Structure 1
Amino acid sequence: MAASDTTAEEGPMATATATEPVVFEEHGEITVLKLNRPERLNAFTGDMADSIGRFAQSLNEGDYDTKCVIVTGEGRAFSAGADVREGLARRIPGNETEKAPWRPSHPERYAIRSIRDCDIPFISAINGHCVGMGWGLALGTDLRIAADNAQFQVSQLKRGIMADFGLGHLLTQQAGHQAALDLMLTGRMIDAQRAYEIGLLLKVVPLDDLMDTAFELAEEIIAGPSLSIAASKRVVYMNDNDDLQRVTDYTGLALGHLMQSEDFREGVNSFLEKRPAQYRGR
């Protein structure tokens, strides 16, 4: 997966035209990583997580001239989380078309850890809905700027499972236990201002200024010494990566059990049928 797979138009507001679900646009030493399924509000698939992980890992191998990455979503959302219809629905017992759900893949362990281990800083430019796996991706980046229309939610709870893609760990780490549990146990949606107040955002800006603000920050970063920047990033996460590893290992096992439950089936089916869920605790 090369950063030059997609050639950007002139200027920082270039629009992705490729059909790939994740595209990479080069702007000099800045690469824009764009989630590119706008018709599905950039809902996540396992392949998308793998692409992001491979790209982040390749940056540490010196494949590109990129010195900073901006992550954003094409269209009116950053990401609506996991693709329920194409992903979670296939994990309902009896519907499996992939490996058994009690042995789930762990794309979060690869994608989020790859971003954290990467020497290159990642900035999220968050537009619109940023929920579930999308929120996990955003929290896995180093710095986050949100448009004033951004909204955040631990949407996994509504599907009868739990926060994955590193979200449970990263939310607790960055917002504290009380705020994290409030969001994880209620599935409450919060706006950008609230996310800023609990320490999850660097700043909130008008939607029209989002990408310009992200590029200004990226330009300020890449003007600095890249070796010092890499060392600074590593020292910040040095004590955290082992914790993230343990949490994602446990999350994978817990998800396997939860995906065998009646509540998981009900959470997915109620979403697809657009009705309130009736959970039974089994």
Structure 2
Amino acid sequence: MTAFLNYEQQGHVVTLTMCQPERRNPLTGNTAVAEILAACEKIAADSSVRAVILTGEGPAFSSGGDIKTMQQQSFGDVDGMRIRDDYRSGIQRLPLALFNLEVPTIAAINGAAVGAGLDLACMCDLRVASDKAKFAESFVKMGIIPGDGGAWLLPRVIGMARAAELSLTGRMIDAATALQWGLVSQVVPPEELLNAANALASEIAANPPQVTRMTKRLMREGMHQSLASLLELSAAYQALAHQTADHREAVSAFLEKRTPEFKG
């Protein structure tokens, strides 16, 4: 079986490209989960990485679950508990890995992001899209539920009402609607997609990397913690931030009216 993910680093930015375009970059029935998890571990351990771009090769970002694999599960002699365990040990590890990855992630959505493909985009911190991209939380159309965390992720990105509209109808929306709804922050022509994603990644990567990682962690923790708990965590992180060389460099550069040089 061919590799699913291409890992490329330019400077402080890693680009992960899903490269099974002939299958529309599915997340099941292949090594997608294992390869994305391995990439997350590699990125987390590499202090030189300051931003990550996730994109797809070909006409689709990701088609989500592989239909042939679903057919084997649904029509074969597979116990329900086995399916449950497959989800828990398989695709459900993706949202946890990307949620816990402290390096900021940008989904560069080149084409259709459908089902788990849409949820994968929502696992990232930021999303930019080609004007050819389309989006659907289409599980209901296949007679299944969002088994990969979509029911938690999508409402936090676009709000409960919009998420319910997409999830309960299975409707597909275009890039312009995704921009209007706040699902993506930019829509650009296809040939400008990676340039736009790289510009955003470079802007992030220009900041102090340790503080950037802590800021992402705070925002993620804030999604499920109380204000009081988050303030306690913020105080601890701020104590660490004040002691970094990059903080001293930022203050010195501001006072000296020069561009700071952050080393992490």
Q: Place the TM-score, normalised by the shorter chain, in its bin.
A: 0.7 to 0.9
Matching residue of 1:178: 161
Amino acid in structure 2 at the alignment position of 1:89: Q
Q: Does 1:101 align with 2:83?
A: yes
Amino acid in structure 1 at the alignment position of 2:72: R
Report deviation, 1:95: 4.3
Q: Does 1:222 align with 2:218?
A: no
State how far apart, in whole Å, the 2-side matches of 1:229 and 1:206 are: 29
Matching residue of 1:192: 175
The Cα offsets for residues 217-264 of structure 1, whole Å up to 9 and x where unpaired, read as 11111111001101110111103368xxxxxxxxxxxxxxxxxxxxxx
Could you say if the C-alpha distance between residues 25 and 19 of structure 1 is closer, same or farther in structure 2, counting changes exceeding 3 Å? farther
* 1:29-48 map, 5 Å: 29-45=12-28, 47-48=31-32
Matching residue of 2:96: 113
5+ residue gaps in structure 2? 226-264
Could you say if the C-alpha distance between residues 198 and 150 of structure 1 is closer, same or farther in structure 2, counting changes exceeding 3 Å? same
Where 1:100 maps in the other structure, the secondary structure is helix
State how far apart, in whole Å, the 2-side matches of 1:109 and 1:229 are: 26
Report deviation, 1:64: 6.1
* 1:41-120 map, 5 Å: 41-45=24-28, 47-60=31-44, 62-63=45-46, 65-85=48-68, 87-96=69-78, 100-106=82-88, 107-120=90-103
Where 2:144 maps in the other structure, the secondary structure is coil
Q: Does 1:137 align with 2:120?
A: yes
Contact persistence 2:7–2:39 (CA under 8 A)? no
The Cα offsets for residues 111-150 of structure 1, whole Å up to 9 and x where unpaired, read as 1121121121110100110111111110000110000011
Could you say if the C-alpha distance between residues 241 and 42 of structure 1 is closer, same or farther in structure 2, counting changes exceeding 3 Å? farther
Report deviation, 1:73: 0.2
State how far apart, in whole Å, the 2-side matches of 1:41 and 1:52 are: 16
Aligned length: 223
Report deviation, 1:21: 1.0
Could you say if the C-alpha distance between residues 64 and 237 of structure 1 is closer, same or farther in structure 2, counting changes exceeding 3 Å? closer
Report deviation, 1:169: 1.2
State how far apart, in whole Å, the 2-side matches of 1:126 and 1:214 are: 10
Q: TM-score, normalised by structure 1?
A: 0.74
Could you say if the C-alpha distance between residues 163 and 98 of structure 1 is closer, same or farther in structure 2, counting changes exceeding 3 Å? closer
Report deviation, 1:162: 0.9
The Cα offsets for residues 10-44 of structure 1, whole Å up to 9 and x where unpaired, read as xxxxxxxx941112112222111111110011122
Contact persistence 1:124–1:138 (CA under 8 A)? yes
Where 2:87 maps in the other structure, the secondary structure is coil
Amino acid in structure 2 at the alignment position of 1:145: V
**Structure of greater relative contact order (alpha carbons < 8 Å, 6+ residues apart):** 1
Contact persistence 2:4–2:35 (CA under 8 A)? no
Identity across matched positions, percent: 34
Matching residue of 1:23: 6
Where 1:162 maps in the other structure, the secondary structure is coil
Q: TM-score, normalised by structure 2?
A: 0.78
State how far apart, in whole Å, the 1-side matches of 2:164 and 2:60 are: 25
State how far apart, in whole Å, the 2-side matches of 1:200 and 1:57 are: 27
Where 1:211 maps in the other structure, the secondary structure is helix
5+ residue gaps in structure 1? 1-17, 243-282
> Which one has the largest radius of gyration?
2
Where 1:105 maps in the other structure, the secondary structure is helix
